[in-house]
Amino acid sequence: MPASPASDSDEVEDIELVKRSQTGDMRAFDALVTRYRGRVYAMTYHLVQNETEAWDLAQEAFIKAWRAIGSFKLDASFYTWLYRISHNVTYDWLRKRKIQGDGEFDDERTDHRVAAGAEAVPAAFAAPDVAMKRAELGQRIQEAIAQLSPDHRQAIVLREVEGLSYDEIAEVMGTSIGTVMSRLFYARKKLQELLKDTYENAT
């Protein structure tokens, strides 16, 4: 059996893996997938709040990245580039779902989606702390985030989870900095409102 790529990936820089991927080396790309799948999946999950869809969208993002890797400029940050692709893929899906009607899944890609075994996918995210209160708070925060619109949710995720600057958020979301600030402000106010009871009961 060929050696697992994971054994090399720690020593090899992104740039090296990307260069090799650009020449068609799927093993190198596979190492990049392993390296970044956790982050890409977290990103899509925070946005769509559904494990199965997030899984599919993370797949899409990597596949698109493979297709476009020839055009990636080696002096840029691979992760930011990948992130942008993930964002676009997720937003396309959200937009399409909005057009088709809320709550309807896209059934076109049935083969691999069913293969992902929708019912069989276990909960991927567990609260890191076993304390009930903290777990409850985490749950409430997730629920509150889910209630935001995608734009507001994305702004919060990019800022709080990814730690992007306003400039970077604007670039990822394809909007102006002014819009980014409005969205962040509104999102935080909304979350405060939704979590008001939680905070009061949390202590």
Partner 1 sequence: MRIQAPVTLSLLFAAWCCGVLPTAAQTTTAPPTTAAGKSAATDGKVWGALVYAVTDKSKLTGAVEKAPDLIPDLTDRLAKAFPFTDFEILGQHTQDVFREYESWVVPSPELFLKVDSKGPAEGGGLNLHLQFWRQQTVLVKTDTILRTGSPLFIRGPKWRDGQLIFVLALKSVGGK
Partner 2 sequence: MKTPPEDHDLIRWLDEEMTPAERTSFEARLEADPTLKAEAEEMRQLSLSVRSHLPKEMPVPHPDFFNSQIQVRIQQMDLEERRAAARPAAAGSILSSLWMRLLAPVAAVAMLAAGWLALRTSSATGSVVVSVYTPDPKVQATTVENTEAHATVLLLEGLDAMPAEKNVAGLSVHHAETDAQLATTTLFDGAGQVLLVMGKDARNQPLIFSHGTPRG
Q: Which of residues 112-131 bind partner 1 (CB under 8 A)?
A: 115-117, 120-122
Tell me if 85 contacts partner 2 by CB under 8 A. no
Give me the amino acid identity at 55: W
CB of 1 to partner 1, least distance (A): 7
CA dist 75 and 69 (Å) reads 13
CB of 53 to partner 1, least distance (A): 15
CB 56 within 8 A of CB 41: no
Q: Using CB under 8 A, count the residues that bind partner 1.
A: 11
CA dist 131 and 53 (Å) reads 29
CA dist 13 and 54 (Å) reads 27
Q: Which residues contact 165 (CB under 8 A, 6 or more apart)?
A: none
Q: Per this entry, what is the length of the chain?
A: 203
Q: Which of residues 24-53 bind partner 1 (CB under 8 A)?
A: 24, 26-27
CB 93 within 8 A of CB 48: yes
> Residues in the site for partner 1, rule: CB under 8 A?
1-2, 24, 26-27, 115-117, 120-122
> Residues in the site for partner 2, rule: CB under 8 A?
26, 30, 33-34, 37-39, 41-42, 45-46, 51, 55, 58-59, 62-63, 66-67, 110-112, 114-117, 121-122, 124-125, 127-128, 137-138, 141-142, 145, 156-157, 159-162, 165-166, 178, 181-182, 184-185, 188, 191-192, 195, 199
